[in-house]
Amino acid sequence: MKHEARFVLGILAALLVLVQGFGNDALGQKRKPVRPRGGITQRSIDYSRFSHSTKQHQESCKSCHSAPTPNWQKVRAFPDVADYPDHDSCVRCHRPQFFKGAQPPICSVCHTKVSPRHDARYLFPNPRRPEQFKIEFPHDKHQDVIASWRIKSRLPGSFGSSVVKSAHAVTEDKSYNNCTICHGPATKAVAPPAGGWMDSFVPPVDAFKSAPEKHDACFNCHWKTEQPVRDNCAGCHKLAAVRYATVTTPVRISLKFSHEGGGEKKNHIAECTTCHINITKAASLRGLRPDVPITGCTECHNKEGLRQDLSKELAALDQNRTFACVYCHTSNVGKLDPPASHYLVAERPAIKPRGQER
Amino acid sequence: MTAITLKYSRLALLLTFGLTLLSSFAVFSVGQTQVSPALARGVVRLRVRVKLDDSNKRAVGLARKRFFLIKGSLEENKDLVQSIEQRPLVSRDCYYRGIGASEPFISWLKQNDCESVYCREIETKNVEGPGAIPEFQQAIAAGEKEFGSRELARKWLAVNLRDDLRSGFYQRQQLDLHSLLKQAEERTGRKVISVMTDRNGTAYFTDIEPGVYVISNLIPAEVGERATLWNCEVNVNAGDLASEKPFLISNPANKEKNVKCVAVEKPLPACPPSKASR
């Protein structure tokens, strides 16, 4: 019996070690980088793929890029970096590759056709290539700069107060720069996600806001003295760890919300920070989420005597656990358990998550 | 044979028991980490309402003002509060007069209560005709020469304005702010977070570790003809939600109920003689 007990204890101890190891892994799952055996190996270089992360390509940006490029007046309405660097930028290091064979692969980085008789180039920047840089944009600084300074008393000859009474209606008679100088209503439809729109719900074009796509949104201030200026590319463009594709379909939890909606009175047109409560503290775009608390919606959509959109759906869910909330959400989101905040705002007791009703 | 079977049955039983114990331990240890950390954090819904003077019947939300959340009580931040209060204030008007800005330029800023040229669009009427502002006219002439387009020169007018006119006031404030933030962060060992009020004077500090904090605007806001400074102590509890009652702060003229903290106000300092008038 003693032997049995020792044997069992031994097995249990070994399993305990294993379980602990598993537990730690589960808490902080990190895949260790795979290192090639035997150190760095010489491999053939694909010269048709230009990378800014190559050490030799990390000199100051203006050593290759001109700002503006000589072609800006032909292709843009504003001075811009609108073309690839000159041949000299490549040849000064890549002479052997530049003159290798009839169709050197290195030429295809910029040129649509590799031939000495064709000088046509891809669009710059090339929208078909994955991005190599992330944008550094401090929302907080920009909001500070455009913010109004003070409110004035309504003395004779003064211009009144810079504040309004209602949460949503824009009744200001003064025009301030605010988020809309960069984020106006979208004017082109967003691409559908892979597999199509959920529930075949196609959001209207103006459901989303636009974001700056060109340099004019920056250069109008950051041209020559206000840093980062036009040739200080690294002030805004930070090399990404890996190349990535530009997001063409915005991810939104409440897909049915429209920024230009809110009925006849267009009540959704509000100051951005009224709902996007975290944006003014954002010093970077990294980790930025346009998180809107449910209270931003329920101020109108769950108000006694006005509307009970949230409470109605929570009540329906109480009656039928397969009910999907579709007033704001598409069914992929609506069939999930509502978060605690929804019950709290609706002043209803939270029901047990699906599958744990008993 | 029976003895051997019995021995193995006992072994199997013991192992099964042990494994059950272990698996429940494993589930517990992994499951523990899934307790939402959000529940252990809090939110401050800040509301700033001010009454300008007795001629105004109602208090109004203080829009577009930045507030900072500093770890610790007022007592713990005594030295910082002292630094904030003792810092000399240069009003907007005094700054622009001091650098020799023209009266039309100062008046253009005042029209929309702006602190800098980035606050509102510079319209054609501001650069052409009788209402033209001299600084804007100079900048547009330089821009037209540079870009070959008067319209582009107007849209990009700020790039050809003198540095001190364009962003000098902002930069000056930033210097003061950075110095105070550094002092706050050195004392607390924590990063100071900040938010800006919306048009109703509301702002949210989210994802806050529970504890005592000071909410301050660090640099006095110009409210009417007064410099208004808040240093308010707030207690953040775990699980506080943005839907709860706001933390209302105000100025002495506002006698609303539920005001949790009142600002200290001082008259705006008088401006020294401007460059232009010397």
Q: Which two tokens stand for residue B239?
A: 């699980």
Q: Is residue B234 part of a domain?
A: yes
> Which of B16, B28, B90, B113 should we substitute to test contact with A (largest number of A Cβ atoms within 10 Å)?
B113
* Six token digits for residue B160: 């050809």
Paired with B221 in beta bridges are B228
Please give the average per-residue pLDDT across B187-207, as a whole number: 91
Interface of A with B in 67-126 (CB under 8 A): 73, 77-79
Of the candidates B43, B13, B11, B7, which has an alpha carbon nearest to the alpha carbon of residue B205? B43
DSSP-derived secondary structure for B136-151: HHHHHHHHHHHHS-HH
Interface test with B, best of A1, A20, A163 (most B CBs within 10 A): A163
Q: Which of residues 173-212 of B touch A (CB under 8 A)?
A: 193-196, 198-206
- pLDDT band at residue B238, thresholds of 50, 70 and 90? confident
Do B195 and A283 contact (CB within 8 A), yes or no?
Answer: no
A157 interface with B at CB cutoff 8 Å: no
Mean pLDDT of A102-118: 90
Residue A310 pLDDT exceeds 90: yes
Give the helix/strand (H/E) hosting A89: helix A87-98
Is residue B11 in a domain?
Answer: no
Tell me the chain B residues in contact with residue A174 when contact means C-beta distances shorter than 8 Å.
111-113, 120
Give the C-alpha separation, B77 to B44, whole Å: 19
User: Which residues, at least 6 apart from A337, have a Cβ–Cβ distance to it below 8 Å?
Assistant: A353, A354
* Phi-psi map region of B170: left, alpha, beta (phi>0 left; psi -120 to 50 alpha): alpha
Other Cβ atoms less than 10 A from the Cβ of B277: the count is 7
Positive or negative: CA dihedral B229, B235, B239, B244: negative
DSSP output for B4-29: HHHHHHHHHHHHHHHHHHHHHHHHHH
Q: Which residue of A has its CA nearest to B32?
A: A27
Min Cα distance B162 → chain A (Å) is 9
**Contact (CB, 8 A) for B150 and B77:** no
Could you give the CA distance from residue B122 to residue B120 in angstroms, rounded to a whole number?
6
A16 touches chain B (CB under 8 A): yes
Residues B109-132 as b or e (16 or more Cβ within 10 Å = b): bbebbbbbbbbbebeeebbeeeee
Q: Does B6 touch chain A (CB under 8 A)?
A: no
Q: Is B124 on the interface with A (CB under 8 A)?
A: no
* Within a domain: B264: yes
ipTM: 0.75
Q: B152 — contact with chain A (CB < 8 Å)?
A: yes
Whether the CB-CB separation of A323 and A317 falls below 8 Å is answered with yes
- Per-residue pLDDT at B1: 44
pLDDT at A54: 93
Residue B79: inside a domain: yes
- Contact list, B224 vs chain A (CB under 8 Å): 150-153
Q: What is the distance between the alpha carbons of residues A231 and A224, in angstroms, rounded to a whole number? A: 9
Q: Which residues of A touch B223 (CB under 8 A)?
A: 150-151
Residue B39: is its pLDDT beyond 80?
no
**A38 pLDDT higher than 80:** no
Q: Which residue has the higher pLDDT, A250 or A283?
A: A250
Query: Any chain B CB within 8 A of the CB of A278?
Result: yes
What is the domain count for chain B?
A: 1
Model pLDDT, residue A240:
94
Written as one string, the DSSP assignment of A266-295 is TTT---HHHH-TTGGG-SSSTT------TH
**Helices and strands, counts by H and E, chain B:** 8, 12
- A289 contact partners, CB below 8 Å, separation of at least 6: A278
Q: Count CA atoms closer than 13 A to B169's CA, side-chain side.
A: 30
pLDDT of A10 reads 58
Would you give the distance in Å from CA A145 to the centre of its chain? 23
At B113, the pLDDT band (50, 70, 90 cuts) reads confident
ω into B269 cis (within 30 of 0)? no
B120 interface with A at CB cutoff 8 Å: yes
Where in the sequence is the domain holding B209, given as residue range(s)?
42-277
A274–B198 CB contact, under 8 Å: yes
Tens of pLDDT along A182-205? Answer: 898 899 888 899 889 999 999 999
Where is average pLDDT lowest: A248-252, B58-62, B76-80, B187-191? A248-252
Q: Do B62 and A16 touch (CB under 8 A)?
A: no
Average pLDDT, chain A: 80
Instruction: Residue A223: list chain B partners with CB under 8 A.
Output: 156, 159
What are the b/e assignments for A44-74, b being 16+ CB within 10 Å?
eeebeebeeeeeeeeeebeebbbbbbeebbe
Query: Nearest residue of B to residue A293 by CA position?
Result: B242
> How far apart, in whole angstroms, are the C-alpha atoms of residue B257 and residue A78?
54
Residue B87 forms contact with A (CB below 8 Å): no
Is residue B239 within 8 angstroms of chain A, CB to CB?
no
Q: Number of residue pairs across A and B with CB atoms under 8 Å?
A: 195
Question: Rounded distance, CA B261 to CA B257, Å?
Answer: 11
| Cβ <8 Å between B52 and A151 | yes
Interchain proximity A176–B120, CB inside 8 Å: yes
**Rounded distance, CA A312 to CA A298, Å?**
12
Q: Is A339 on the interface with B (CB under 8 A)?
A: no
Q: How far is A106 from chain B (nearest CA, A)?
A: 34
Among candidates B12, B26, B69, B49, which has minimal Cα distance to B191? B69
Closest CA to A15 of B122, B23, B10: B23
Omega before B252 within 30 of 0, i.e. cis: no
* A273 interfacial to chain B (CB closer than 8 Å): yes
Amino acid (1-letter code) at residue B207? D
More confident residue, B215 or B7: B215
Candidates A18, A19, A148: best to mutate against B (most CBs of B within 10 A) is A148
| Stated pTM of the model | 0.76
Provide the pLDDT confidence category of residue B7 given band limits of 50, 70 and 90. low
- pLDDT tens, position by position, A210-240: 999 899 999 999 999 999 999 999 999 999 9
- Asked if residue B33 is part of any domain, the answer here is no
Nearest to B62 by CA among B177, B203, B172, B170: B203
**Domain ranges (residues) in chain A:** 49-129, 131-288, 296-345
Give the DSSP letter of residue A151.
Answer: B
**Which member of B14, B167, B243 has the closest CB to residue A8?**
B14
Apex A259 CA angle, A254 and A264, nearest 5: 110
Q: Is residue B2 part of a domain?
A: no
Contacts of A220 in chain B (CB under 8 A): 155-156, 158-159
Q: Å from B98 to nearest chain A CA?
A: 18
Give me the residues of A, 235-254, that contact B with CB < 8 A: none
Give the closest-approach CA distance of A223 to chain B in angstroms: 6
List Cβ<8 Å contacts ≥24 apart for A58-61. Answer: A58/A239, A61/A231, A61/A232, A61/A233, A61/A234
pLDDT exceeds cutoff 90 at A157: no
| B108 half-sphere exposure, CB direction, 13 A CA radius | 24
Q: How many Å apart are CA B216 and CA B70, to the nearest integer?
A: 8
